[in-house]
């Protein structure tokens, strides 16, 4: 009797376990499925869109979407919260956006007419007074913007805005198209979280730095109907997580995917939107005398050997999977100001000869050269949020070792703090959009001049300063291009800046996503055109 009872109990348990393991056709969908944009789209309810980005984080100087703080204007403009007066077309020319027109009345005066229809997402009309308030706050709190814009005064009259600069500023409108130029409603102000009210197709509702940003549709959008109801931007810095999130459907599109992951998405379920950009992988040499390695980095032969010892073509062809092109100067040759510069190309034998001639010899047979008892050690500072930068570092480490240099890589998200310590690095390698504004001045102003906010290597050249002063007041585009070429050559002759490659930037999305287009300036991502079919 007991045996029968035991068998019955085991049977009951088995049935229970099997029932628990099975899935019911009527069972509700998982939370992940509920959040899927495509299922919502199919059912005709709210359309939601989840975007994964590995650059929206504090280490990238994008902690919030407040355009008046560091580089936070980038997420503001990228995610469709803010818009600028003019827009940069893919060929680098300016197009009207919030402004109907911009006229250079004289060398220091600009008249800008704001479009009548423009309003902020809170419904307030965006007139010249609102733009004035925004720009005045910008130049008050944002050092880089104030240096670039050189605004002396602003007058507002209805839709007409008159800007007077303290000195001729030929590229004022280009600078106003930089991400920090997003027009925000200063009456609403900036929340403690860094949320602002702009004129774009989306309205920020929640922001957690380094985690996510929630957006909703701007029902007052002035430039057409917005198709997506809710957007979530997820900060996903790990390349594998980003790839797997897109593959599993957790996100609908991704920015900054590692090229090594591209083959996973080269099928009918996904699509790419890519474009050649001026985003350049380049290195800045540390010239500081406070640097304990000053004896190394101040030696022109060492800098030349570094320039000769990096296999740019191999990096582009293999490590960027061909999604890029080698760089000679700071700007792509598609721009007039990127043509005609000359730089060292990969030649390890010449690099060895240069070092040998300069007295760098491997005396102890360990493969690393020495001079006056100093080992030829280069501290290479870079960061992982641009996923290809560590690959460039490791590739250069191997090729430079062949010529007798010991490259020690410091690959850290903290690079923006470390680069400010002149004793902590020898070459800082980053990836920046050098000609995003369609003009060369911004690159030099940001990285190469005595008063540049990011001239962390302390580079100085009298000739460069002289040329920069000329560039600042030159209105003729061809003349500007000539000056920019000469300035680049100045940097290249000295090997104080080493340019490796430009990037072909791509965004990858699910096949049913439309209206997500990559742009050469890398500013515009989520627009009113974004939709899920």
Partner 1 sequence: MSGTVTVRIQKIKKNTVKGRLIFFLILAVILLLVTIFADRIVPYDPYAQDLSKSMMPPSSEHLMGTDRYGRDMFSRVIVGAQVSIFSTLALVGVISVFGTIVGTLCGYYGGAVDAIVMRISDVCLAFPGLVFALAIAALLGGGVGNAVIALAVISWPKYARVARSQTLALKNVPFVLAARLSGCTSLQMILRHILPNILGPILVTAMLDIGTMMMELAGLSFLGLGAQPPTAEWGNMMSGGRSMLQTYPWLVLSPGLAIFVTVVIFNLLGDTVRDYMDPKNSRAR
Residues that bind partner 1 (CB under 8 A): 239-240, 243, 258, 260-261, 263-264, 311, 314, 317-319, 390-391, 394-395, 397-399, 409
Residue with tokens 């050690």: 377
Q: What angle do CA 279, 73, 436 make, to 5 degrees?
A: 30
The two structure tokens encoding residue 238: 């790990």
Among residues 315, 386, 320, 390, which one has the least CA distance to residue 345?
A: 315
**79 vs 323, which CB is nearer to partner 1?**
323
Nearest approach in angstroms of CB 215 to partner 1 is 29
How many angstroms separate the Cα of 321 from the Cα of each of 317, 392, 397?
A: 5, 13, 19
**Shortest Å, Cβ 305 to partner 1:** 18
The residue among 174 and 311 lying less far from partner 1, judged by its C-beta, is: 311
Residue 438: CB minimum distance to partner 1, A: 34
> In the complex with partner 1, which residue's Cβ is closer, 108 or 397?
397
Query: Shortest Cβ distance from residue 366 to partner 1 (Å)?
Result: 14
Residues 269, 516, 63, 415, Cα dihedral to 10°: 70
| Sign, CA torsion 272/273/274/278 | negative
Which lies closer to partner 1 via its Cβ, residue 190 or residue 319? 319
CA–CA distances in Å: residue 271 to residues 72, 508, 510: 28, 6, 6
Of 120, 169, 166, 488, which Cα lies nearest the Cα of 336?
488
* Min dist. Cβ of residue 486 to partner 1 (A): 34
**Residue 102 CA: distances (Å) to CA of 94, 115, 173:** 10, 11, 8
CA 266, distance to chain mean position in Å, is: 24
Smallest distance from the beta carbon of 319 to partner 1, in angstroms? 7
CB of 442 within 8 A of CB of 148?
A: yes
Closest approach of partner 1 to the CB of residue 347, in Å: 16
Contact between residue 232 and residue 36 where contact means Cβ atoms under 8 Å apart: no
Name beta bridge partners: 151: 165
Q: Give 397 or 470: the residue with its C-beta nearer to partner 1.
A: 397
Of 41 and 310, which CB lies nearer to partner 1 in the complex structure?
Answer: 310
Residues in CB range of 405: below 8 A, 6 or more apart: 302, 305, 306, 309, 368, 369, 376, 377, 378
- Is residue 221 a contact partner of residue 168, using CB atoms and an 8 Å limit? no
To the nearest 10 degrees (0 to 180), the angle between helices 462-473 and 477-493 is 170
Q: Which is nearer to partner 1, 75 or 404 (CB)?
A: 404
Least distance between partner 1 and beta carbon 308 (Å): 17
Is the Cβ of residue 161 or residue 243 nearer to partner 1 in the bound state? Answer: 243
Question: CA-CA distance, 352 to 104, in Å (whole number)?
Answer: 53
Residue 203 and residue 121: Cα distance in Å, rounded? 7
Minimum Å distance from CB 260 to partner 1? 5
Residue with tokens 């006056």: 372
CB of 184 to partner 1, least distance (A): 37
Nearer to partner 1, 410 or 470 (CB): 410
Considering beta carbons, is residue 414 or 476 the nearer one to partner 1? 414
Could you tell me the CA-to-CA distances from 206 to 49, 177, 203, 229 in Å, in that order?
15, 26, 9, 15
Cβ 249 to partner 1 shortest distance, Å: 15
Q: Match 């008050």 to its residue by tokens.
A: 140
Nearest distance in Å: CB 265, partner 1: 10
**15: helix, coil or strand?**
helix
Cα 269 from chain centre: 27
**Nearer Cβ to partner 1 (396/507):** 396
Closer residue to partner 1 (CB): 126 or 306: 306
- Nearest to 245, CA basis, from 47, 529, 43, 54: 54
């Amino acid at each position: 009797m007991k045996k029968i009872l035991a068998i019955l109990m085991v049977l009951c348990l088995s049935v229970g376990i099997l029932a628990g393991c099975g899935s019911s056709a009527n069972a509700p969908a998982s939370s992940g499925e509920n959040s899927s944009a495509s299922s919502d789209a199919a059912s005709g309810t709210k359309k939601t869109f989840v975007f994964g980005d590995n650059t929206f984080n504090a280490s990238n100087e994008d902690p919030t979407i407040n355009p008046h703080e560091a580089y936070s204007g980038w997420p503001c403009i990228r995610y469709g919260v803010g818009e600028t007066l003019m827009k940069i077309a893919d060929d680098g020319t300016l197009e009207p956006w919030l402004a109907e027109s911009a006229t250079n009345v004289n060398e220091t005066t600009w008249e800008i007419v704001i479009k009548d229809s423009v309003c902020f997402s809170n419904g307030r009309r965006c007139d010249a007074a609102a733009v004035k308030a925004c720009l005045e706050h910008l130049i008050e709190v944002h050092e880089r913007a104030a240096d670039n814009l050189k605004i002396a005064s602003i007058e507002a009259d209805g839709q007409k805005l008159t800007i007077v600069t303290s000195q001729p500023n030929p590229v004022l409108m280009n600078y106003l198209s930089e991400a920090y130029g997003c027009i925000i409603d200063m009456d609403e102000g900036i929340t403690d979280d860094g949320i602002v009210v702009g004129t774009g197709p989306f309205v920020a509702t929640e922001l957690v730095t380094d985690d996510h940003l929630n957006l909703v549709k701007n029902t007052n959008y002035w430039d057409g109907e917005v198709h997506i109801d809710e957007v979530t931007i997820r900060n996903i810095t790990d390349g594998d997580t980003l790839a797997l999130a897109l593959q599993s459907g957790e996100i609908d599109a991704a920015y900054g995917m590692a090229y090594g992951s591209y083959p996973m998405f080269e099928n009918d379920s996904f699509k790419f939107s890519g474009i050649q950009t001026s985003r350049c992988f380049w290195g800045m040499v540390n010239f500081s005398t406070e640097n304990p390695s000053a004896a190394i980095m101040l030696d022109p032969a060492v800098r030349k050997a570094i320039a000769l010892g990096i296999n740019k073509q191999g990096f582009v062809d293999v490590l960027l999977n061909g999604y890029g092109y080698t760089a000679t100067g700071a700007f792509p040759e598609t721009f007039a100001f990127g043509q005609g510069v000359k730089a060292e190309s990969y030649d390890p034998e010449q690099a060895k000869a240069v070092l040998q001639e300069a007295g760098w010899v491997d005396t102890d047979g360990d493969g690393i050269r020495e001079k006056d008892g100093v080992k030829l050690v280069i501290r290479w500072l870079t960061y992982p949020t641009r996923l290809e930068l560590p690959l460039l570092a490791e590739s250069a480490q191997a090729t430079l070792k062949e010529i007798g240099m010991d490259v020690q890589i410091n690959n850290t998200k903290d690079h923006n703090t470390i680069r400010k310590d002149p004793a902590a690095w020898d070459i800082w390698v980053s990836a920046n959009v050098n000609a995003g504004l369609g003009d060369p001045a911004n690159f030099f102003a940001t990285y190469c001049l005595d008063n540049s906010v990011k001239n962390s290597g302390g580079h100085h050249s009298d000739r460069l300063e002289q040329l920069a002063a000329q560039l600042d007041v030159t209105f003729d585009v061809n003349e500007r291009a000539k000056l920019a070429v000469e300035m680049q050559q100045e940097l290249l002759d000295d090997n104080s800046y080493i340019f490796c490659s430009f990037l072909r930037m791509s965004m990858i999305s699910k096949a049913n996503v439309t209206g997500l287009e990559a742009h050469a300036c890398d500013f515009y991502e989520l627009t009113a055109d974004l939709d899920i079919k």
